[in-house]
Structure 1
Amino acid sequence: MEIVIIGVGNMGGAVLSGLLKAGHAPESVTAVVRREERAAEIASTYGVRSLPAEAAVAAADVVVLGVKPYGVVPVLESVKDSLRPGTLVVSLAAGITTAQMEAAVPDGVDVVRVMPNTPALIGQGMSVLAAGAHCRAEALATAEELMGAVGEVVTVPESSVDAAGALSGSGPAYVFLVAEALIEAGVHLGLTRADATTLVTQTLVGSSQLLADTGTHPALLREQVTSPGGTTAASLRVFEERGLRAAFLEATRANRDRSRELAAD
């Protein structure tokens, strides 16, 4: 399978690294980048060649778009004549619908939209996939395998992509904000910043792993930490009084709505 990655930034680079770690041969992957120095860096780091977009796409079975949202349709239009029926196009950009992509490619080209997240950089990503209206089942399976190289995969109807992205796509930012706030709180309580950072980081890592490994509902795990009238209960009471749940609901709704606005624009 010949794979072309157009735009090897954070997400494109994460997919490239994940594919190679999953066993794809470097000679089966081609990068398309703008700068010669970036092409040289990719060749040195990954052993992957770089080619102009049209030449690369003409031989591709799978084309991964790692460009910004505003670049997705222009890139597809620029390589339209090189895309063959049966080629799979996978976009990693937020807000661009499969309908918009399908309108820019020839008939017979399969289109899949992906909402990844930054933990893909360490192989712990969460990717949300949605197939285009004319995407074949085998093409969707290929996209799922492709993104499985950098973490977990969930496939949803496209109507649910914006909502799912509000959780996983932007979710790392919420986690980092919580970490930042807890570290600052520790400093205010008299801990050194280094100690507070270690305490918070490992607590988040361990708690997430416990949730993932046990499959236990988070409410039950929370209750296991919370003794009636104890210290944790005192903290949680403040979060409830300050409307933490409502804030998350409002934030994720705003995220979903903004994604829809980007698509409309």
Structure 2
Amino acid sequence: MKKLVFVGAGSMAEAMISGIGASGLLPGEQMWVTNRQDTDRLKTLKQKYGIKATYDCGMLFKDADAVVLAMKPKDAAGAIEEIKPYLSEGMLVISVLAGVSIEAIERAAEKSLAVVRAMPNTSAAIGKSATALAVNSHVREAQKMLVQELFNTVGLTTIVEECQLDAVTGLSGSGPAYIYYLVEAMEKSAAEIGLEKQTAKQLIIQTLLGAAEMLTQSDKEPAQLRLEVTSPGGTTEAGITILEQHGVQSAFVSCIKEATAQSKRLGHLLGDQLAAANRPL
């Protein structure tokens, strides 16, 4: 790849630029970025990562191999309308727009395109994203491998069917927020049982890291690992009993199902908005 273009300069674009540059996959001068109007943001990214930035679409897309759609989903219709004259059928389009289908992107661009939809999460900022990728029939095997390489620079990637991306959004896309919510509860409880805030934070973080590493290294199911910590009549059993009484596990299941359903609803809404923006007057 000789040139990678980012349309949108938010946190996800920066995470990818940082990861790709740090990995050596592409040097900064081969990455270009634009946004709607925040020139200060573009200047910051240029200085920090040595990339190039412009509002001249002709210059931006000249000889580009791939473009990453990284604007806010609500801005997708206007952005695609502006750049569609520069999207060629040989160009790879990578979308990180939550809820925007491949079909909607092709329809808005008014041409057949090689499109990869990616669902990373905010942990991409530290190189620990769980990213799911879905591709359409125009994506060549070499292009699919390239996109995997790009997202491997910010974490773990897996290929799924596009119909599964709403579930991925509900599970791992929103997943970091569920963990932070749990940590909030643990911090509140720590304060109430008399632990100093910084001490509690360190203990909570190490506990999460240790549990994650156990899940990574062990071939045992999570339920088995939990049972091995839960001695009859012990402290863990007492705590788990309270969680079960409050239906915490069921609440988490409902949480992820509702987030998945909301992803589907937003997808339909965004698809309708793209279609309306592209409809002749």
Quickly name the TM-score band, shorter chain normalised. Answer: over 0.9
Is 1:119–2:128 an aligned residue pair?
no
Which residue of structure 2 lines up, in the alignment, with residue 6 of structure 1? 7
Q: 1:30-89 deviations in whole A, cap 9, x for unaligned?
A: 111332222221121101110226231232111011111112232222111111222111
C-alpha displacement of 1:133? 4.5
Tell me if the contact between 1:83 and 1:106 (Cα under 8 Å) persists in the aligned partners. no
Is residue 187–residue 193 contact of structure 1 (8 Å, CA) maintained in 2? yes
The AA in structure 2 aligned to 1:20 is: G
Q: How far, CA to CA, are the matches of 1:53 and 1:89 in structure 2?
A: 19
Q: Say whether residues 1:49 and 2:45 are aligned partners.
A: no
Q: 1:237 aligns with which of 234, 237, 241?
A: 241
Aligned length: 265
Which letter maps to 2:55? Answer: P
Instruction: For 2:217 and 2:90, locate their aligned partners in 1 and report how far apart those are by CA, in whole Å.
Output: 39
Q: Which amino acid aligns with 2:23?
A: A
Letter of the 1:17 partner, please give it.
Answer: S
1:155 Cα deviation (Å)?
Answer: 1.2
Match runs of 1:1-265 below 5 Å: 1=1, 2-23=3-24, 24-33=26-35, 34-52=37-55, 54=57, 55-105=59-109, 107-265=111-269
Which 5+ residue runs of structure 1 have no aligned equivalent? none
SS at match of 1:81: helix
Following superposition, the deviation at residue 241 of structure 1 comes to 1.5
What is the Cα deviation at residue 136 of structure 1?
A: 3.0
1:6 touches 1:53 (CA, 8 Å); kept in 2? no
- Return the alpha-carbon distance in structure 2 between the equivalents of residues 14 and 223 of structure 1: 38
CA distance in 1, matches of 2:109, 2:44: 30
Contact 1:99 1:133 in 2 (8 A): no
Q: Distance in 2 between matches of 1:58 and 1:11?
A: 23
Is the CA contact (8 Å cut-off) linking 1:166 and 1:253 kept in structure 2?
Answer: yes
Aligned counterparts of 1:53 and 1:162: Cα–Cα separation in 2: 34
Does the 8 Å contact 2:106/2:112 carry over to 1? no
Structure 1 residues 78 and 11: alpha-carbon distance in aligned structure 2, compared to 1, 3 A threshold: same
2:278 alignment partner in structure 1: none
Aligned residue identity for 2:244: E
- Counterparts of 1:15 and 1:102, CA distance in 2: 23
Q: Which runs of 5+ in 2 are unaligned?
A: 270-281
TM-score scaled by length of structure 2:
0.90
Offset at 1:141? 2.2
1:231-255 deviation digits (Å, cap 9, x = unpaired): 1011111111211121011111110
Say which SS state the counterpart of residue 114 (structure 1) adopts. strand
1:110, 1:135 within 8 Å by CA — same for their partners in 2? Answer: yes
1:74 & 1:219 partners in 2: Cα distance? 48
Question: What is the aligned-residue RMSD (CA, Å)?
Answer: 1.5
Please name the residue that 2:277 is paired with. none
Question: C-alpha distance in 1, partners of 2:116/2:21?
Answer: 21
- Relative contact order, higher structure (CA 8 A, sep 6+): 2
Among the aligned pairs, what percent are the same residue? 34
TM-score norm. by structure 1 comes to 0.95
Query: In 2, Cα distance between the equivalents of 1:264 and 1:123?
Result: 31
SS of the residue aligned with 2:195?
A: coil
Relative distance call for 1:96 and 1:186 in structure 2 (3 A) is: same
Distance in 2 of aligned mates of 1:136 and 1:76: 22
C-alpha separation between the residues in 2 aligned to 1:72 and 1:128? 20
